[in-house]
Chain A
Amino acid sequence: MKHRGRFGDYGGFYVPEVLIPVLEELEEAFYNFYEDRQFVTELADLSKNYAGRPSPLYHAKRFSEYVGFNVYLKREDLLHGGAHKVNNTLGQGLLAKYMGKTKLIAETGAGQHGLATAMIGALFGMETKVFMGVTDIERQSVNVHKMKLCGTKVIGVEGGTGTLKDAINDALRYWTAHVTDTFYLFGSACGPHPYPTIVKHFQRCIGEEARQQCLDQIGRLPDMVVACVGGGSNAIGIFSGFFDDKNVRLIGVEAGGRSVSEGRHAATLVAGRVGILHGAKAYLLQDDEGQVDETESVSAGLDYPAVGPEHCLLKDTGRAEYVAAEDEDVLDVFELLSKTEGILPALESSHALAYLVSQKGKLDPEQIAVVNLSGRGDKDVSIVEKHRPLLND
Chain B
Amino acid sequence: MKTYKQVFSELKEQNNTALIPFFVLGDPDFDTSLEVIKASIDAGADILELGIPFSDPIADGPTIQKADIRAIRAGMNVAKALELVRKVKEHRDIPIGLLMYYNLVYQYGTEKFFKDFHEAGVNSVLIADLSIDDADEITGPAASAGLDTVFMATPVTDPERMKLVASKTTGFIYTVSVLGVTGSREKLSDTAEGLVGKLKELTDVPVCVGFGISTPEQAVAVAKAGADGVIIGSKIVSLVERNLGDRDKAIVEVSTFLAEVKNAI
Contacts and interface: CB of A to CB of B under 8 A. Distances in A.
Interface string A252-270: 0000000000000000000
Contact of B65 (A15, A16, A159): A159
Contact of B55 (A20, A160, A278): A160
B156 interface: yes
Contacts of B179: 18, 176-180
Nearest to A159: B65
A63 to B, nearest CB: 39
A276 B106 contact: yes
A165 B129 contact: no
Contacts of A178: 179
A14 interface: yes
B120 interface: no
Main secondary structure of the interface of B (DSSP, over half): loop
A289 B52 CA distance: 11
Contacts of B165: 17
B61 interface: yes
B67 to A, nearest CB: 13
Given A16-B152, A288-B107, A290-B104, A276 B55 contact: no
A307 to B, nearest CB: 15
B103 A16 contact: no
B180 interface: yes
B233 to A, nearest CB: 14
Main secondary structure of the interface of A (DSSP, over half): mixed
Contacts of A172: 58
B143 interface: no
A118 B101 CA distance: 32
A14 B134 contact: yes
A176 B155 CA distance: 11
A17 B99 CA distance: 14
Contact of A176 (B59, B65, B131, B157): B59
Contact of B157 (A15, A21, A278): A21
A313 to B, nearest CB: 18
A1 interface: yes
Interface in A152-168: 159-160, 165
A52 interface: no
Interface of A: 1, 12-18, 20-22, 159-160, 165, 169, 172-173, 176-180, 275-279, 284, 286, 288-292
Q: Which 6 A-B pairs have the closest CB atoms?
A: A177-B180, A290-B107, A17-B152, A18-B154, A290-B103, A291-B55
5 contacts: A16-B128, A17-B131, A21-B158, A173-B61, A176-B58
